[in-house]
Structure 1
Amino acid sequence: MNLPPSHSESSGFDQLESRIQRWVWAEGWTSLRDAQEWAVPVLVDADQDVIIAAATAAGKTEAAFLPILTNLLNRDDPPGSVLYISPLKALINDQWDRLSRLCEQLEIPVVAWHGDISSSKKHRFLKSPEGVLLITPESLEALFVNRGSSLGGVFQHLRYIVVDELHAFIGSERGKQLQSLMHRVELVAGHRLPRVGLSATLGDMKMASEFLRPGNADGVTVIESKSSNQTLQVQVRGYIQPPMSELKKKPVKLSDQAENEDETENEASPDFAIADHLYKVLRGSNNLIFPNSRSQVEWYADQLRRRCEKDGVPNEFWPHHGSLSKDLREQAEHALKAGTQAASAICTTTLELGIDIGSIKTVVQIGAPPSVASLRQRLGRSGRRPGEKATLRVYCKESPLRDGSSLSDQLRQGLVQTIAMVRLLAKGWFEPPRAQGIHASTLVQQCLSVIAQCGGASAADLWKSLIAEGAFPKVEKPDFVKLLKALGEHELIVQDSSGLLLPGTVGERLINHYEFYSAFTSDEEFRLVCDGRALGSVPVSRPLTKDQRIILGGRRWQVRDVDLQAKVIIVSAARGGAPPQFDGLGAMVHDNVRQEMRAVLADTLPCPFIDQGAQELLDEARKTFVSLGLGKRYIVESGGKCYLMSWLGDHANDALRLLLNHVGLSCDNAGLAIEVDADIGRTQMALKEVGSLDAADLDSILSEVENMLREKWDWALPQSLLIKSFASISLDISTAILFAQSHSVENKRKKLRCIDPMLDAENTAMLPRWADDE
C-alpha cells in the first residue's frame, strides 16, 4: 500500500504528538506504512485491545509505539508507563536500542529488565515507574514473587501491555503463563489495560485474539499489513542418503594447513555434496542456514569453515544455537549485522524470531521444514531490500529403496512434505497454533506464585484469580480441589488454621530458586540402553509406550521399559525391514500438510521448483501412490507389511496409534503411514473397535502411555488432571475416533470430508519458480 506523504495528507500522522512528527521527518520517512497508518487512531486513546500483524521489518514496533508514546506525552496525569513483554532477552536488547533512539528526544525513559541488567537500573525504575519497561515473562514472574506487595504502586499508572512475537507464545505453557501474568498485572493495577500484540506469523486471527483477551476475542481490533507483497523464489534439491552400513569411510583432507586434523568421514553421504553446494552458492552474501538439529549445525559450520580455510579466504560461516555461549552467539549476530563482509549463520530456531541481523539474501533449510509457519517466519528475513526476492533453498535427503523399505520411504515422505509445505506457503496458508491445551503444569506454578505474591491466599482467591476469571478456565472445580490436595501431599503448600494457603517446605525451597520463574523446561533427553550398552540419547516429545519401535543410528529399536526418573529407555534390537528415514520424534505435522502431501502425490504435473534429482524421487513416489491405489484406499499391504493411511496430522495419528494399541493392535506411527502388525481384515476390525470408544474415557485409553510428564510441574499434578492436560496438548483423540468410525467395515464407503485430497486447480499457477543456479 503506497501511502501519501506523512507531512501532508496522512490522518494517522496528524494525530501524532508534534515531537514524534519531527522525529518521523528527521528519519526521512515520506509516508507511514499501512500498519502504522491504521494503528494510530485505534491505539492513541488507550481504549481497546489491538493485534498488529505484519511481515518482518514492516515497522510493527513503530506502528505500536508512535501512538502509544503520543498517548504518554499528551496526558496531563502523572507520567505513565508501558509494559513491553518479549520472549527473548536478545530481542529486548534490540528493541531497547531501537526505542531509545526515539524516546531520548521525547525524554521518556526506556528500561530493559532481565538478568544481564544491573540492579541499580532496576531500582531506579521501581522508585520512579515511568516510561517503557522491556521485560520477559520470567522476569515479570520474579517481580510478582519478590515484590508482590509493592507492585500496586509500580503499575498504578500503567497504560498499555505490549506483547512482541505474539505467535511465539500461543499454545505453549509459557503462553499460558503470559496470559495469567497479564491478568494479574490488571488486578494489581486496579483497572483493565489495553493489550497490544505484535506478530509476523499468525495463522488464525480469531485464535490470536482469543489468546490476547480470553473471553472477548470479538473486542480485539486486528490490523493486518498487506504491504510486503514478497516475491518468492525456491529451489528444492533431492539427494539419496545411503544406509549406514553401505557408507564407505575414506580419509577426507579439507585443509592443507593442518595435516593432523585429517578425519575419516563418510564421503558417500550427501551431506558433503550439500556442503559443497552451499559453499558454492552462498559465499559472498549474508544467509541463514537451518539444519534440523544442533549436531548438524556444528557439522555444517565446521565443514564450511574448512572450505574457507582450504581456499585461503576469511571464514564466512558461523554456528548459532542455544547450547553455545552468549559470546559465541553474539559473534555470529555481529558478523551478520556488521555489513563489512559476507556472513552466513548456521543456526537453529534461535535466529527465527525478530532479532535484528540485517538483510539476508538466502534462507536455507536442510531436511523437511518443521512447519509452514516456521518457514514463513524464516523467509521474513530474506528479500527485505526493495526489488529483492525472498530466496529459499531446501536440501532433502531420502533413503535408497530396497526390499522391505517402509511405505513412508517409498512415498519419499521428507521430500513430499517439503513440496507440500512450499505449496501451502505460496497459497498463504500456515499452521494456526494449538491453543486448546489446559497446561495444568503452569497452573501449579501460578498457584505458588500468587501465594508468594500475596503472602498467602485462600482456595477461593486462587479459583477466582486463576480459573474463574483467569487463564485456566478449562480446569473444572473437582480437578482443582484434587490439585490443591496433591500440592499439599507434595509439601508444596500447607494450610493454616484460618484456611490460608502458604508455601510448604518443598514449595518455599522451589519458589526461592531462580528456576521457579520459568514455566517451561527444555526437552529432556532420554538415554537409549540395550543390554547395558548406551546407544545414545534422544529428546522424546511424543507418546511413548512399551513395545513401540523407535529409530536411532539408522537402526530400529523396540522399547522394553522406560525409567522416567533416570530418563532411560531400555530397548532391544527390533526385527523387520530397513528403518524409515523418519524417526518419529520430530516436529508435529498439521492435518492440512498431510492433505497437501496427498495432493502432491496424486498430481501428474512436474513440480516447477525442484531439481532433476528431486523430480526423479517424486516420480518414484507418485508411481508407488498410483500402483497401491492410495487415491482411494486407506489400508494397503506393501513389502510384507500393512499400512494405514489416514492423511491426518501427527496429533491425530499419535492418538490413532494409541487407540489401536488400546484395542490390542500392535502398530507404530511412522509419520505419513501407521505401520500395522496385522493383515487388512484385522486392521479393519480394530478400526471398528476404535470407532466405538468414548473419547472422554482418557484414564483407560492412555493407561499405557509411559511419558506423560512433559511439562515442568506435571510431577505435582493429580493423575486425572495430568491425563487431561497431556491429552489436550499432545493428542487429537476426537479426530482419530471420527476417522475410525468413517472407515470401519460397515462404513468403508463413507468419505470423511476433512481428509479429502486438496487438488486445487489453481495450485500450479501459484507455485514459485526457480532460476538456474549462477
Structure 2
Amino acid sequence: MTDGNGAASAVDRLHPALVHHIVNALGWRDLRPLQREAVAPLLDGEDAVLLAPTAGGKTEAAAFPLLSAMEEQRWSGLSVLYVCPLKALLNNLVPRLEQYAGWLGRRAGLWHGDVRQGARQRLLRQPPDVLLTTPESLDAMLVSTKTDHGRLFAGLRAVVVDEVHAFAGDDRGWHLLAVLERLQRIAGGPIQRIGLSATVGNPDELLHWLQGSGHETRPGRVVAPGVVLPDASSSQQGAPQEPPPGDIELDYVGSTANAATVIAALHRGEKRLVFCDSRATVEELGAALRGKGVTTFLSHASLSLDERRRAEAAFAEARDCVIVATSTLELGIDVGDLDRVIQIDAPGTVASFLQRLGRTGRRSGSTRNCLFLARSHDALLSAAGLLHLWGRNYVEPVTAPPEPRHIVAQQLLALALQEHKIGRVLWREEWNGLPPFDRGAEPILRHLLDEGFLERDGETLFIGPSAEERFGRRHFMELTAVFTAPPQFTVLWGRKEIGRSDPMLLTEKVEGPRVLLLAGQAWKVNWIDWGRRRCFVEPSDLPGKARWFGMAVDAATYALSRAVRDVLLGADPPVKLTQRATAHLAEARDRNLDLVHPGGTVIARQGDDVRWWTWGGYKANATLAASLGGLADASQRFTDAYIRLRSDLTPEMWREGTADAAERLCLPEVDDKALRGLKFNEALPPRLAAATLARRLADLESAAAILAEPTRFLRQN
C-alpha cells in the first residue's frame, strides 16, 4: 500500500494487524487521500473535521487511526464514542465498525432508543471499546439511576461525530456540546473530538465549534484533500466544493401527478431515489407511481421503523425501482448503488443538495446526477436560485442557533439528575467554562429555583417538584430530547403498525369514510382510540389524504432569495434546462419584470397594495417589518421576497422614516403559539424565552445591508 503521495508513511503508522485486514479482508490496494491525510493528526491526538462527499470514506478515515491508537496506547473499556444524528445511520454503520474493531480483538456496540433492554444490560455488564449512539441516548445514560456512568465513561478518550454539520446548525448541537463537556468531567481529561462532514461553507468555524471549551488549548485541523476552492468573489471564502458533476437538469412539470408521469417514463430499468421535502408529498407521489405500475418504496419519519426498514432493504436489493423519501435518506444511509437522484421542487440549502447529489456516481465510470422537477413557478425559481448559488461555488456556513437559554435550563436539570445534587456555586465547573453554560446562566438558575424546578438545601441543589411534574414521566426521558415532536396517532392494521398520522387529519370534517394515505397505501379509518392515541384501519380503494400540520419547509435565506432575484434579472444556473423550464423561467421574468432591479430594491404600488420587494429572505424581512414602525402595514405581513407597507406611503415619508432605521433595528415579535414550539420554554422566565426565539427569527446583518441599498418607487397599473 504505497504510492508517491505519502501513502507509505501514513499506512506505516497504522497498526500492522489493521493494515493486514485492510489489504486482505477489504481488498484495498491503497487508502483514499482523506484517509491518508487523517492518519497523522488523529494518531497525534488532534481534534479534526474530516470533509468529503457522501461515500468518501470518512468513517474509515476516523476509525482506522483511532483503532490503531487504541492498541498502541492500550486504551481499555469504553474509549471511543461514535455519535450520529439518526438511529438508522447508526444501524447502518454498526456492522462495519464491528468488523474493524474485531480485527484487533476489540468490540463495538450499539445503544439508542430502539435497542432492547436485554442488549443494554449486556452492554453495561461488558462495555464495548466503541459505542455507537446518539446525544439523546448519552444524556439518558447520564441521568439514569441504572447506569454507573462514572465507571462506564471513565476511560473515554475520543468521540467521532458523524454528519457534524447536521448537529451544529440546530439545538441538538448545543445539547451535544454540553453532554460532551459533562463526559469530559467524568473522564477526567480532554476527549479528542473528530467531526465527519460533507461540504460546508465554514469548516474552520465548524472545527472551532466542535472543540467546545478546548478550542484554545487543543490543536485542531480541517482535513479536506482534493477540494476546489471558490474564486475570490465568493461570499464564502475558503468554502470547499466538489468538482462539477456531469448531469444536472432542471425541468418544470407543474404538479405531483405530472412528476409521477415523468419519473415513470424516464430511466426505466434503473434504481432511482426521489427526494421530497414533505411527508405528504412522499405519500402522494408514492401512491401516484404505484398507480402507474412502478415498483415504489417510501421512507419518512412518520412511517413505522419496520416499514422503513422493509422499504430500504427491498430497495437496496432491487434494480428497476424507485424509493421516495424525505431527508431521512440524505445522511449517508446505505441503500445500495443508485443510478439516479431526482429532486421534487428544491431543498432549502446548497449543502443539502450536495448531500443528495452525493448519493449517485459511486460506481466506477458513473457520474453524479440530479434531475429537478419543479411543480410550481415558485419552486422553479427556488431551484434555479439554488443551482445559481451552487454554480458560484457557494455553500452555506453552518452556524449554531444563538442564545440557547432553553438548552441551558435543560442541562442544569439533567446535571441535577445525573449527580443527584449539585453545588450552589460548583455547578459552573461541570461544563468547563463553555458559554453559555457558565456564570451567565445564573438568571436561568434563579428562575428554576423560584419556580420549583430545582430546590435548595443550604449550598446544594436538587430536582424539585415542578421538574418531576413536567418532565418526570418515563424516568425523565422527555428531558433528554431537545426538540418538540408534535403528538401523532399510531396507525394500526390489525397488530401491524403502519406509521403515524397527525391528529388534525383525524378530526377535520369529511363526507363519507375517513381515508388516510400512509406508506403509499389508502387506509379506511375504522376506529380511533383517543385515549391511547391509536387509529385502527383497513386497506381501501378510495383516494386517501396525507397531511402533517406544523411541519413547513424552512423559509428562504438571504442568500437564496438574492439568488432568485439574480435569476429574475437574467442569470441562468449552469445546468441543463428543459424547454419547459426555459419557457416558464422566461414567463416568470416577464411577470416580475418591475419587481427586481440590479441597482437596489423596489417599492411597488398597485391600488392600495404597497409592497417593498427586498428579496431579502424570511428572517431579514421579519427584522425589517418589526423595525419599520408606522411604515409597515398594521399586520406587518411579509414573505421571503417582500414586506407590505402602509397604503398611503409616499417617497418623502419613506426617506424620513428609514433615515436612521439601520441604527434602530429590532427583533421580531414572538407570539405565544410560537413559544410553545421552543422545548423547555416553561423552564425559562417568559422574557428570556421570548428573547431567545426572537433572536433566532432575526437577521440583523442582512436587514442592515438591505437598508443600505437604494430604493426606487414604482406605480403599477
Give the TM-score normalised by the residue count of structure 2: 0.82
C-alpha distance after superposition, 1:186-215 (max 9, x if no partner): 110000111011111322112211220135
Offset of 1:724 from its aligned partner?
2.7
* Aligned counterpart for 1:455 among listed residues 420, 427, 448: 420
Partner-residue secondary structure (3-state), 1:447: helix
Letter in 2 for 1:108: R
Instruction: Tell me the residue number matched to 2:479.
Output: 516
Instruction: Tell me the residue number matched to 2:224.
Output: 224
TM alignment of 1:154-165, pairs within 5 A: 154-165=152-163
Offset of 1:395 from its aligned partner?
1.4
Range that drifts further, 711-720 or 162-171: 711-720
Offset of 1:322 from its aligned partner?
0.7
Instruction: Tell me the residue number matched to 1:34.
Output: 33
* Aligned counterpart for 1:334 among listed residues 295, 313, 333: 313
Q: Distance in 2 between matches of 1:472 and 1:534?
A: 47
Partner-residue secondary structure (3-state), 1:55: coil
* Aligned counterpart for 1:432 among listed residues 397, 407, 410: 397
Q: 1:11 to 1:272 in 2, by over 3 A?
A: same
Partner-residue secondary structure (3-state), 1:323: coil
State whether structure 2 residue 348 is matched by structure 1 residue 378: no
Structure 2: stretches of 5+ with no match in the other structure: 228-241, 489-501, 511-549, 713-717
> Any conservation in 2 of the 1:145–1:450 contact (CA below 8 Å)?
yes
Q: Distance in 2 between matches of 1:725 and 1:606?
A: 37
> Any conservation in 2 of the 1:660–1:690 contact (CA below 8 Å)?
no
Partner-residue secondary structure (3-state), 1:274: helix
Offset of 1:84 from its aligned partner?
1.1
Partner-residue secondary structure (3-state), 2:31: coil
Q: Distance in 1 between matches of 2:308 and 2:660?
A: 49
Q: Distance in 1 between matches of 2:303 and 2:112?
A: 19
* Aligned counterpart for 2:642 among listed residues 658, 666, 673: 673
* Aligned counterpart for 2:454 among listed residues 482, 493, 497: 493
Instruction: Tell me the residue number matched to 2:180.
Output: 182
Q: 1:605 to 1:387 in 2, by over 3 A?
A: same
Instruction: Tell me the residue number matched to 1:764.
Output: none
C-alpha distance after superposition, 1:456-501 (max 9, x if no partner): 11342333434x713525x873xx34322332344321112x1321
Offset of 1:624 from its aligned partner?
4.2
Q: Distance in 1 between matches of 2:16 and 2:5?
A: 11
Q: Distance in 1 between matches of 2:409 and 2:573?
A: 53
Instruction: Tell me the residue number matched to 2:230.
Output: none
Range that drifts further, 725-734 or 63-72: 725-734
Offset of 1:712 from its aligned partner?
1.1
Q: Distance in 2 between matches of 1:611 and 1:464?
A: 60
C-alpha distance after superposition, 1:614-638 (max 9, x if no partner): 2122112323454456223523325
Range that drifts further, 207-216 or 631-640: 631-640
> Any conservation in 1 of the 2:632–2:644 contact (CA below 8 Å)?
no
* Aligned counterpart for 1:610 among listed residues 564, 569, 577: 577
Instruction: Tell me the residue number matched to 1:250.
Output: none
Partner-residue secondary structure (3-state), 2:353: helix
* Aligned counterpart for 2:586 among listed residues 615, 619, 622: 619
Letter in 1 for 2:479: F
Letter in 2 for 1:599: D
Offset of 1:585 from its aligned partner?
4.9
C-alpha distance after superposition, 1:502-557 (max 9, x if no partner): 1111313424232222111236799999xx9879xxxxxxxxxxxxxxxxxxxxxx
Q: Distance in 2 between matches of 1:137 and 1:646?
A: 40
Q: Distance in 2 between matches of 1:221 and 1:91?
A: 25
Offset of 1:709 from its aligned partner?
3.4
> Any conservation in 2 of the 1:285–1:343 contact (CA below 8 Å)?
yes
TM alignment of 1:546-695, pairs within 5 A: 585-603=552-570, 609-628=576-595, 630-637=597-604, 639-640=606-607, 641-660=609-628, 665-666=633-634, 667-681=636-650, 684=654, 688=658, 691=661, 694-695=664-665
Q: Distance in 1 between matches of 2:565 and 2:596?
A: 12
When the two chains are superposed, the root-mean-square deviation of aligned CA atoms in Å is 3.1
Q: 1:317 to 1:54 in 2, by over 3 A?
A: same
Offset of 1:391 from its aligned partner?
1.4
Q: Distance in 2 between matches of 1:156 and 1:178?
A: 18
Q: Distance in 2 between matches of 1:117 and 1:533?
A: 36
Offset of 1:702 from its aligned partner?
2.5
Q: Distance in 2 between matches of 1:615 and 1:176?
A: 44
Q: Distance in 2 between matches of 1:201 and 1:236?
A: 22
TM alignment of 1:197-236, pairs within 5 A: 197-214=195-212, 217=215, 219-226=219-226, 229=243, 231-236=245-250
Offset of 1:353 from its aligned partner?
0.8
Q: Distance in 1 between matches of 2:105 and 2:571?
A: 64
Q: 1:183 to 1:204 in 2, by over 3 A?
A: same
> Any conservation in 2 of the 1:6–1:31 contact (CA below 8 Å)?
no
TM alignment of 1:376-415, pairs within 5 A: 376-398=354-376, 412-415=377-380
Q: 1:345 to 1:490 in 2, by over 3 A?
A: farther
Q: Distance in 1 between matches of 2:388 and 2:691?
A: 35
* Aligned counterpart for 1:48 among listed residues 39, 46, 49: 46
Offset of 1:4 from its aligned partner?
4.4
Range that drifts further, 210-219 or 101-110: 210-219
State whether structure 2 residue 323 is matched by structure 1 residue 345: yes
Q: Distance in 1 between matches of 2:435 and 2:148?
A: 23
Q: Distance in 2 between matches of 1:88 and 1:382?
A: 21
Partner-residue secondary structure (3-state), 1:319: strand
State whether structure 2 residue 270 is matched by structure 1 residue 285: yes
Q: Distance in 1 between matches of 2:555 and 2:32?
A: 36
State whether structure 2 residue 356 is matched by structure 1 residue 358: no
Q: 1:372 to 1:629 in 2, by over 3 A?
A: closer
Q: Distance in 2 between matches of 1:354 and 1:517?
A: 25
Q: 1:589 to 1:217 in 2, by over 3 A?
A: farther
> Any conservation in 1 of the 2:623–2:703 contact (CA below 8 Å)?
yes
State whether structure 2 residue 252 is matched by structure 1 residue 238: yes
TM alignment of 1:752-767, pairs within 5 A: none
Partner-residue secondary structure (3-state), 1:383: coil
Q: 1:718 to 1:662 in 2, by over 3 A?
A: farther
> Any conservation in 2 of the 1:607–1:615 contact (CA below 8 Å)?
no
Partner-residue secondary structure (3-state), 1:358: coil
* Aligned counterpart for 2:465 among listed residues 505, 515, 520: 505
Q: 1:114 to 1:373 in 2, by over 3 A?
A: same
> Any conservation in 2 of the 1:669–1:675 contact (CA below 8 Å)?
yes
Offset of 1:83 from its aligned partner?
1.1
Q: 1:139 to 1:706 in 2, by over 3 A?
A: closer
Q: Distance in 2 between matches of 1:483 and 1:34?
A: 47
Partner-residue secondary structure (3-state), 2:309: helix
Q: Distance in 2 between matches of 1:595 and 1:451?
A: 47
Partner-residue secondary structure (3-state), 1:84: strand
Q: Distance in 2 between matches of 1:661 and 1:143?
A: 50
Instruction: Tell me the residue number matched to 1:559.
Output: none
Q: Distance in 1 between matches of 2:358 and 2:347?
A: 15
Q: 1:76 to 1:347 in 2, by over 3 A?
A: closer
Partner-residue secondary structure (3-state), 1:678: coil
Offset of 1:710 from its aligned partner?
2.8
* Aligned counterpart for 1:84 among listed residues 62, 82, 101: 82
Partner-residue secondary structure (3-state), 1:10: helix
Offset of 1:76 from its aligned partner?
4.0
> Any conservation in 1 of the 2:170–2:401 contact (CA below 8 Å)?
no
Count of residues paired in the alignment: 636
Q: 1:670 to 1:22 in 2, by over 3 A?
A: same
* Aligned counterpart for 2:444 among listed residues 462, 483, 488: 483
Q: Distance in 1 between matches of 2:393 and 2:327?
A: 21
Give the TM-score normalised by the residue count of structure 1: 0.76
Range that drifts further, 28-37 or 427-436: 427-436
Q: 1:590 to 1:396 in 2, by over 3 A?
A: same
Q: 1:504 to 1:534 in 2, by over 3 A?
A: farther
